[in-house]
Structure 1
Amino acid sequence: KVTAIVGASGSGKTTLIKLLLGYYSPLEGSIKVSGRDLEEYNLSWWRSHCGAVMQEGYLFSDTIARNIAISDDTPDVDRIRAAA
């Protein structure tokens, strides 16, 4: 399933994505995924099932391979090549 979050600059899109990926916790209320609180999920697992394309792309000061495998806890050459 693909969901797009669009809006004017400054409307909170990045903040919403960071909340949905568990980088921020809500100050009030909670975020539910399939009826469960997001905080109950293993965030590494959850993030591995999500994808986000931000407005501004960036590369970390590292190798291309490490940039590709940035969210992979156990990167290997075959998965990096497949993703490339």
Structure 2
Amino acid sequence: MVKLSDLKAGENGRVLSVGGEADFQRRVTAVGVTPGGRLTVIQNEKKYPLLINIRNTALAINRRDCENIMVEVSTNE
């Protein structure tokens, strides 16, 4: 289990939990970032938001908010 912000571009994972404040949890779950969701990191550069693809949707998530999303790294997908 790692933080979403620890994944590198091209890596796949599965969302295990979404933490943080209630407003943040509502926002990200409304756009499909929910436990069990499979994702691919498109871009993870230090100065920019993380870009992910989850449920056929590309999302940009603030780097600090990514610290609240725990994922399991997938070796295949």
TM bucket, shorter chain: under 0.3
Please give the TM-score of this superposition, normalised by the length of structure 1. 0.26
Q: Larger Rg: 1 or 2?
A: 1
Structure whose residues are more often strand by fraction: 2
Larger RCO, structures 1/2 (Cα 8 Å, 6+ apart): 2
Please give the TM-score of this superposition, normalised by the length of structure 2. 0.27
